[in-house]
A and B are shown apart, each in its own frame.
Chain A
Amino acid sequence: MANTYRVLDKVHLQDEEEFVDILEDKRHCSDLRFAFRTFSPPPYKGAPACSSAELNQAVLESQYLRYVINEVALEMGSSVEEVRDEACGIMREMSQNLQLRFIRLMGFVVRKVFKRIFSAIYVNMERLQALQQATQECPVILMPNHRSYIDFLVVSYILFNYDIPLPVIAAGIPLAGMTIVGEMLRRSGAFFIRRAIGSDKLYWAVLSEYVRTIVRKGFAPLEFFVEGLRSRTLKSLPPKLGMMNMILEPFFKGEVYDVTLLPISISYDRVLEESLLAHELLGVPKPRESTAGLLKASRVLQENYGCMHVNFGRPLSARRLCEGKINRCQYNLTPRDLPQKPNAEAQACGSWLAHMIVRLQEEGALTSPWSLMACVLLQVPTAALTEEGLLFHQLTERTLWLRKLALDFRAHLNWPEKVPDSDVMSSTVALHRSVVYRKAGRVYLTRNDELEQKHSMEEDMMRTAAALLMLASYRNQCLHVFVRPALLALAMSVTKSTRKDELLTCFCFLQEVFSNEFVFIPGQSSQDFEEACSLLHKCKAVHVGQWEVTNSDTQPEVLSFLQELLKPFIESYQLMFRFLCEERDCVFREKDFLSGVRTLATKLIVSGELHTYEALSSDMQKNVLSSLRRLGAITKITTSQNNEYKVNKSAVRRTGDMLAGRIPPQIVQAAPDARL
């Protein structure tokens, strides 16, 4: 535990670093010259370079895979050759084929595009030197957060720029299916992983051996998104642990001395996919990744997306972090090549690390003025935004107040210096005219969706919803700054108590309920609580005694702001709890739940009973289901094909009551996490 703190402290203490715009000095030099620059990364000391063909061969010939192939052949009753061919097939589908000339081509294209759509790409250069050093010492794992399709292009582009070995990248299989583009990505170092692997033993074996071999050989950094998916809500996602376990295993088994983990926080002023995401959340299906679709989307390139910050974190030694958390001797008694499920200790260690990386990504993220404005705007009644508009100077005032609070909470702000605040505000609003616009000193919600021409009540609401969900997403970008104090503020209002122990219990309960919304490092609730106390204390919102936390009257707006910040979550959760309890049947299908909740929410919004549109977000709806599953209030019926759940209404009601403060919260023993 002490360990975590040390790591986190370091991050807190880091002074503001110098960010350099990598587009700036390059704007003058020709794209072609850039693409043909000499690329000479320093070699890895541990082992010689390894071509992708050699890598594939090493995987296919590994003892481990041979063993699994035999096992699968025996189970399926097919011949070893057949299974082996199948494995080769999987390999072909999966494997990357990193080639420098394609990187050059990509570099050329990407540079052209970036220069057009971004006003700047800021990178902290000093860390890149540390990274370059680290790539020579031991295998490096690049772990960026995932907010946009272009995330990995950006990372590779930067590494190419600074003579750092290019990474091989874990990507989703749909990308591989795109004509030409798939092959281009493959040749730029992407390897492709199927989405639903389930219990396909052979696939798991090929994938895990492929990943482990990359780590063991160490010739190139491995890049993967620990969140597993692109976040539709711009909020961190609870990490997926499968890849994490795969990359740690070579270290646990002593096959490499150490593994360097490098969190990367990519922050966009404006995300390319913003409206796409909002519609997806409202149930409009995501367009299939296809080359045609990509070309269609090229109108995206006509717009300006402001700046982008790529904050490379401090290289972390997995060895140091795992010290005392794992007994590596456990691998001594079985051959290391045999398939072995990671045991509870190793899994806990992997999970802890993965969560910590997410936390570090959050801490490295830069909070934009727009994100703070989104917080403010969402606390204004919707009608005010759509009808009479919000006074611009009011928005400015509130945003500046929030900026101070964010700084108190140790946020990394990307607030342009030496520019008058009013200019920052207006340029930000101008950049985000897809969401809000300014007219006559007032700010309104933008609702001009070109695709929709008719203006039925329903559609009108959907357009408002889309804009508000975009706004919510941008608010989510900075939610991690406020979430701990906000949960404490919420606990104070829920329990109406000042006793620390009661507040802690409620705090833990809230963490548990919202564990799919906000990422917390497992087993660290009391540290989180302490952190919340000290932050609120720092901004003079509360007095913290040895046994008590009391409201201070000097800064009442802090607590009310924080409580208001989480209100959409509380309201939406309560709504869905209510929906489940009012349902006649005890068994429901996920599909029906989603549409049912959407109908109910729409009805209540129209009637003015529900104030938030976020209940319409499919992401939040799914999170409620996961949360209730964890709390044991609903159970998935495993025999059913179409995602059926059995609901325990009294448990759901009780959770709702606890959330509303009607009964004191109890910490529920959550079911073990099975997100492997």
Chain B
Amino acid sequence: MASNSSGDESSRHQTARHRLSVIAGHLQRPTDRNAALLAVDCKAQGSQPNVNTSDRGEGRTVPRRRQEIMKWNGWGYSDSRFLFNKKGQAEFTGNRYRLSGMIIPGLKDWMEGTFGANLQHKTQATPVLNTSAVQPPTLNEAFVEELKSTGIPFSHEAEDRVFRAHGHCLHEIFALREGKIGRVPDMVVWPNCHNDVVKIVELACKHNVCLIPYGGGTSVSSALECPPEETRSIVSLDTSQMNRILWIDEKNLTAHVESGIVGQDLERLLNESGYCTGHEPDSMEFSSLGGWVATRASGMKKNIYGNIEDLVIHIKMVTPRGVIEKSCQGPRMSTGPDIHHFILGSEGTLGVVTEVTIKIRPMPEYQKYGSVVFPNFEQGVACLREVARQRCAPASIRLMDNEQFKFGHALKPQVSSIFTSFLDGLKKFYITKFKGFDPNRLCVATLLFEGPREKVLQHEKQVYDIAAKFGGLAAGEDNGQRGYMLTFVIAYLRDLGMDYYVIGESFETSVPWDRVLDICRNVKARIIRECKDKGVQFPPLSTCRVTQTYDAGACVYFYFAFNYRGLSDPVHVYEQVEHAAREEILANGGSLSHHHGVGKLRKEWMRETVSNVGVGMLKSVKDYVDPNNIFGNRNLL
């Protein structure tokens, strides 16, 4: 009885304290920001040579307050977006991309034709975040107190917290556009270096606070969603300020880099020294090195440089049990199961990756884009398979299906000269009339070659010769280059679609060669059927491309979008269709994910994917490393 009442009392005290702290938090906002400004930068560890001396913040893309340059409810930079101008023509704003400031005449027709969308029917997104819709933070007072004493900057401003509560899944962005905010982190911390992270993790363990690491925020697996059942205070650990290259080892061609650096900064800074990593996932503008490690990322040019697991030499990760790392930088070891593989793909469930030693290469001497048109998708796949068999894949080779080819066509910017348009017409005539390709069946492969000039040209010839055997016709550098440029702007396009009742998403898988065609056909057909069954009024866009080749299989990307007018719960319909599509992928021998990861979106299939024992193994690692579930984002398992 007594203990009970005392318990009641203490909990009452706690609630009261909590209320106070919330109020104090609101009042203290300016002070907080001051504190943040005062925060001391980590001294570069004395023992390590700091090759790159550039100061923090200078030339870095991501500020602490991301909302200053990025959309809070859409993809990418605030200044860059698609819109329909007064003349009803599509236009891409800003000046960051090659497409920026250009008119895209074909887009309107394509959108109307493909989705039955109409410029008259527009849905406005909520323009600014309504902070009163955000739950007040649940703060762990003791944790906050001790954190303050470390001088590590933090914030519990609504805008900061909301920004870190989501990735870029459709349902996440859709909810933000509607102004619907669910459970968000209670505060955000910005460690500046490895030691900061060690301190934060120690404090989190000490005060039983839930930590969710946040890198670039580009997750598409619901990995950043706060588990709604989490009752502890949730702290988002934003690594974006840990963004230095600590050293470059030119003898061994490695670089030691803090994990928060985003791809574009890493590449640019290395380029300044004449190097590159060659790791270029489509999200590289915003995704971070730590995120790549945590999700087993894959880059476009993996054929030359390898995927992230091939690139990392050494990883340092802070866990509740302490820091895990290897003792040397040997290129390969036989020391039991590779502990790196507990970290790679752990999706923030075991700790925070703080520093990574990554392979670097001298910048390529010569780059050349290219493209090949095939009479049909089957021939295209056969060609890619042959290229993989001969192990002569260029840095990147991607095969788009017919729908995507048309889509790419619709995104062609307005051509300035009559001559170019005349040339385009001629090309089209040659391919469809002279060569007899059916414009409703043909498909395109885009290519990127890298290396010494001589070798590139030789390599190019080899690949085009193979393509010719499968009826492929070279279709010019321009088409290829545009194809790759589009991968960066395509994410912006979804926001435009959402302005006009079109929602969509992409998802990926990897599959053995003999099943590539079957999986493409079946998944696309399944999407169309499911949409029909679920009452979607217009046929959806259901398209795919083969984006990577391996010895034993390929990575396939599906794009799927539909016009949701007339549906009461479009996101639910969308999720049902995506679910069905994933079931179809698995039934056709595809993997649960090639590089997006599992997160919470796909975790229901983990058991059948890795077997009971497999799940048990992962669980036991988690139980040992993080018995109190401090890293409580509940991804994977």
Residues of A within 8 A of B (CB): 46, 254-255, 257-258, 327-329, 331-332, 335-337
Contact = CB atoms under 8 A, between A and B. Distances in A.
B589 A255 contact: no
Q: Sorted from nearest, which 6 A-B pairs have the closest CB atoms?
A: A328-B587, A254-B588, A332-B589, A257-B525, A254-B518, A257-B522
Nearest to A252: B587
Contacts of B588: 254, 328
Main SS at interface, chain B: helix
B514 interface: yes
B139 interface: no
A331 B589 contact: yes
B514 A254 contact: no
B619 interface: no
Given A254-B515, A254-B587, A254-B588, A329 B608 contact: yes
Contacts of A257: 521-522, 525-526
Given A46-B521, A254-B515, 14 more contacts: A254-B518, A254-B519, A254-B587, A254-B588, A254-B589, A257-B521, A257-B525, A257-B526, A327-B587, A328-B588, A329-B586, A329-B608, A331-B589, A336-B515
Contact of B522 (A254, A327, A335): A254
Interface centre among A332, A336, A337 (most CB of B within 10 A): A332
B588 to A, nearest CB: 4
Interface in B502-517: 514-515
Nearest to B609: A329
18 contacts: A46-B521, A254-B515, A254-B519, A254-B587, A254-B589, A255-B518, A257-B521, A257-B522, A257-B525, A327-B587, A328-B587, A328-B588, A329-B587, A329-B608, A331-B589, A332-B589, A336-B514, A337-B514
B381 to A, nearest CB: 14
Contacts of B521: 46, 257
Interface string B378-422: 000000000000000000000000000000000000000000000
A331 B519 CA distance: 13
Nearest to A253: B518
Contacts of A331: 589
Main SS at interface, chain A: loop
A218 to B, nearest CB: 11
Contacts of B518: 254-255
Contacts of B608: 329
A328 B523 CA distance: 14
Contacts of B587: 254, 327-329
Nearest to B588: A254
Nearest to A63: B514
Nearest to B528: A257
B335 to A, nearest CB: 30
Interface string B214-246: 000000000000000000000000000000000
Contacts of B519: 254
Nearest to B589: A332
Contacts of A46: 521
A46 B518 CA distance: 11
Nearest to B378: A47
A178 to B, nearest CB: 40
Interface in B562-621: 586-589, 608
B587 to A, nearest CB: 4
A248 to B, nearest CB: 14
Contacts of B515: 254, 336
A332 B584 CA distance: 12
A328 B518 CA distance: 13
A464 to B, nearest CB: 58
Interface centre among B514, B519, B589 (most CB of A within 10 A): B589
A263 B17 CA distance: 74
A564 B239 CA distance: 85
Nearest to A137: B525
A332 B525 CA distance: 20
Interface centre among B526, B588, B608 (most CB of A within 10 A): B588
B18 to A, nearest CB: 49
Contacts of A328: 587-588
Contacts of B589: 254, 329, 331-332
A258 B526 CA distance: 10
A258 B608 CA distance: 24
A204 to B, nearest CB: 23
A335 B586 contact: no
A328 B584 CA distance: 9
